[in-house]
A and B are shown apart, each in its own frame.
Chain A
Amino acid sequence: MDSAQAELRRFVIDNFLYGRDGRFRDDDSFLEIGIIDSTGLLELVNFLEKHYGISIEEAELIPENLDSIVQLTGFLQRKLDQRRVPVVSRQQEQTTA
């Protein structure tokens, strides 16, 4: 899961902090530090669905799943566990293939 956590961190830093990670920690709340706006959440969901091939239900759009790198990683792990596939991104799948 380390690689997925690093990927998620990279995505958040590139897209919402524009590459400036500063003192941003993996357990920082996106909402509390205000780095994700209303469209940012949709960008994040879009990235998770496309990049990891998962489908996120409306009921799952809650801060408990999506509000920090740690929570995102855990949520992703659970979604992938449901599909019983190893935790790799599509990009890694392609590279491996």
Chain B
Amino acid sequence: MVRHRGPDEWGVHADRGVGLASARLSIIDLSGGHQPIHNEDRSIWITFNGEIFNYLELREELLGRGHIFATHSDTEVIVHLYEEKGTECVRELNGQWAFAIWDGRQRRLFLSRDRLGVRPLFYTRAGGNLIFASEIKSIFAHPEVRRELDLAALEQIFTFWFTLPPHTIFKDICELPPGHSLTFKDGETNVRPYWHLDFTGSSERILSENEYIEQLRHLLTDATHLRLRSDVPVGAYLSGGLDSAIVTALINKFSGARLRTFSVAFTPRELDESPYQQEAVHFLNTAHEQIRCGYEDVAAVFPDVIWHTEKPIVRAAPAPLYLLSKLVREGGYKVVLTGEGADEIFGGYDIFKEAKIRRFWAAQPESKQRARLLRRLYPYHANLQKQPDCYLQRFFRARPEDISNPFFSHLPRWELTSQVKGFFSDEVKASLAGYDPLSELVAQLPVDYFGWHSFCQAQYLETMFLLPGYILSSQGDRVALAHSVETRHPFLDYRLVEFAAKMPPNLKMKVLNEKYILKRTFEPLLPSSIVNRPKQPYRAPDGRSFFSGGGVDYAEGLLAPSQIKADGIFDPSAVAKLLEKFRAGRAIGVKDDMALVGILSTQLVIDQFISTFQQGGSLWTALRQNCAAS
């Protein structure tokens, strides 16, 4: 089921009432790090997915305290640290992880997931047992687990693009939230946070600008250095944007060899960033490989992509990244560094700039000049450029009454996405009547959120929800490890994330210059054309992909009125009208694209995980036999 996550070896540990299994992608201590790993007296066992980047420092400390190591792996460091600190051990880890520790002395299971949710971890209860895994498909292999859609989670995806943990798209299958740990003892489950992202105090400038720059340079340089720890070669994604160029430039400082870099180019010219990529490759002197992706490529791999995302998506953007990781793996690499996270922690996304302009405009709604700023934000969006001011004002919620809304930054995105819910069948609409995903989101926000600067509120929503729930999962871990490639993200080193959270917002976005402090810090390493290029968001071919070349067989089948009716989630006649628009070439809007991709991916989830899913599997059989024997 999850061999793609760890094709190099697998291992099982079974004790009375517990079974741990591991599929390993060998990166550190290739010959010695077999899992599950245990402590000196074999009373504590771990199965671990991820990396602990500060493992050498922790190992030194633990050796000093008398621990005896059997391997040179980062995995074993967690075991001994747990012996020292118990469940508090996670506070000392700098890395990306999902692990399970079986403490035989306390007869307690301890699960933990990294602070920002780079690595996935899911669990459920069945027949008195707790069942956990890195991917939901492993849990579904268990014969006692039900497979059913969670309609509230579907409503969340068709509002926010992500599910709110512990929801997953499947009923009773829970996601351990980022920055949380879980203990399971005597049949009781206890989930607790061990880390918070806190923007309190960020309005005060406690350092000079140059001091912020110095600290930022030091932290990102060290974060990158730590993420080069590996016993296999490390490459990098180079998108043509600022963030991956900075990471690549920093890697070059530490590596004598010519760095291998990888990128996606798009056949549709309006999406393509190849010229910027080539410029970065030339300047940074990397050995670069590129994959070219068009509409038909997205359609061809989309079912496989959904098998890995394990949830519906409203943009097809993960598909090209799935193809990119294939290129990396075929190039002989299994670890890449990326620039992911910079846009969240330094406020680089358009949504931050958009919110600032909307707020500025809403204060003087009659101003023509302020309206023009919004048009300048999206020079590549031809349809938007043609809109009259009064319509722009409505679409972007730039009205005085919206300013005090704590979700001001995200209202346009959520309103637009919510329109996909119009396709729900009457039965689904009836069963969701009265459910409000916003209330559930509010319940997950820290109390301090409502007192933070609006820029920080937007950052919190992006960093704590969209980042783990979509960017790092559907566009990250899931499509990279689909081809056994591990992604590492220097910008998501928790020390840097915490430092950036305390930085005044006007250093992140100076007037309308996004990532100002990041640009100032690293401009000596890069040409001005990369540092100061207009920001272009990563966009990929969407709905049209499924209608190029006369249509795609699986899409025709899954979207046929009879199938839509049988599955019961969407209204068959509404879906038929949508398809009519696409076939006639009249579907030109983002809403139509999101609806098509959202509906098709939901149908694929139903087909692959509910209708045709095969339970059982050799791993469960082996585990059950071993548990019974011990």
**A43: Cβ under 8 A from any B Cβ:** yes
By the criterion CB–CB under 8 Å, are A37 and B589 in contact?
A: yes
Bound complex: CA of A58 vs CA of B386, how far in Å? 9
- Taken residue by residue from 13 to 28, chain A's Cβ proximity to chain B (1 for < 8 Å, 0 otherwise) reads as 0110111100000000
By the criterion CB–CB under 8 Å, are B571 and A20 in contact?
A: yes
With CB as the reference atom, state the residue of chain A lying closest to B415. Answer: A34
Bound complex: CA of A34 vs CA of B355, how far in Å? 20
Bound complex: CA of A51 vs CA of B383, how far in Å? 20
Q: Which of A43-94 contact B (CB under 8 A)?
A: 43, 58, 61-63
**Which residues in B have their C-beta under 8 angstroms from that of A1?**
none
**B65: Cβ under 8 A from any A Cβ:** no
By the criterion CB–CB under 8 Å, are B577 and A39 in contact?
A: no
Nearest CB on A from B107, distance (A): 54
**B550: Cβ under 8 A from any A Cβ:** no
By the criterion CB–CB under 8 Å, are A41 and B415 in contact?
A: no
Q: A18-B423, A19-B576, A41-B387 are in contact. List 11 more A-B contacts (CB 8 A).
A: A14-B577, A18-B574, A19-B577, A31-B391, A35-B419, A37-B419, A38-B383, A39-B383, A39-B589, A43-B588, A61-B387
With CB as the reference atom, state the residue of chain A lying closest to B378. Answer: A38
Bound complex: CA of A17 vs CA of B421, how far in Å? 11
Main secondary structure of the interface of A (DSSP, over half): helix
Chain A contacts to B: CB under 8 angstroms: 14-15, 17-20, 31, 34-35, 37-43, 58, 61-63
Bound complex: CA of A89 vs CA of B578, how far in Å? 24
**Which residues in A have their C-beta under 8 angstroms from that of B383?**
38-39, 42
By the criterion CB–CB under 8 Å, are A40 and B589 in contact?
A: yes
**Which residues in A have their C-beta under 8 angstroms from that of B590?**
37-39
**B284: Cβ under 8 A from any A Cβ:** no
Chain B contacts to A: CB under 8 angstroms: 383-384, 386-388, 390-392, 394-395, 415-416, 419, 422-423, 571, 573-578, 581, 586, 588-591
State which of A20, A31, A38 has its C-beta within 8 Å of the C-beta of B574.
A20
With CB as the reference atom, state the residue of chain B lying closest to A47. Answer: B586
Among A15, A38, A61, A62: residue with most chain B CB under 10 A: A38
By the criterion CB–CB under 8 Å, are B391 and A61 in contact?
A: yes
A-B contact count (CB 8 A): 64
By the criterion CB–CB under 8 Å, are B586 and A43 in contact?
A: yes
Bound complex: CA of A76 vs CA of B588, how far in Å? 24
Bound complex: CA of A41 vs CA of B575, how far in Å? 21
Nearest CB on B from A39, distance (A): 3
State which of B386, B395, B423, B575 has its C-beta within 8 Å of the C-beta of A42.
B386
State which of B388, B581, B588 has its C-beta within 8 Å of the C-beta of A62.
B388
By the criterion CB–CB under 8 Å, are B577 and A34 in contact?
A: no
**Which residues in A have their C-beta under 8 angstroms from that of B387?**
38, 41, 61
Nearest CB on B from A44, distance (A): 11
**Which residues in B have their C-beta under 8 angstroms from that of A34?**
415, 419
By the criterion CB–CB under 8 Å, are A31 and B394 in contact?
A: yes
By the criterion CB–CB under 8 Å, are B591 and A17 in contact?
A: no
Bound complex: CA of A31 vs CA of B394, how far in Å? 7
Bound complex: CA of A37 vs CA of B419, how far in Å? 9
Bound complex: CA of A11 vs CA of B505, how far in Å? 46
Bound complex: CA of A62 vs CA of B416, how far in Å? 21
Nearest CB on B from A83, distance (A): 23
By the criterion CB–CB under 8 Å, are A39 and B588 in contact?
A: yes
By the criterion CB–CB under 8 Å, are B589 and A38 in contact?
A: yes
With CB as the reference atom, state the residue of chain A lying closest to B581. Answer: A15
A-B contact pairs, 9 of them (CB 8 A): A15-B586, A18-B575, A38-B590, A41-B387, A41-B391, A42-B383, A43-B586, A61-B387, A63-B391
By the criterion CB–CB under 8 Å, are A19 and B395 in contact?
A: no
**Which residues in A have their C-beta under 8 angstroms from that of B573?**
18-20
State which of B391, B423, B581 has its C-beta within 8 Å of the C-beta of A38.
B391
Q: A17-B422, A18-B422, A18-B423 are in contact. Are A61 and B388 (CB under 8 A)?
A: yes
Nearest CB on B from A75, distance (A): 14
Bound complex: CA of A20 vs CA of B573, how far in Å? 8
Nearest CB on A from B357, distance (A): 15
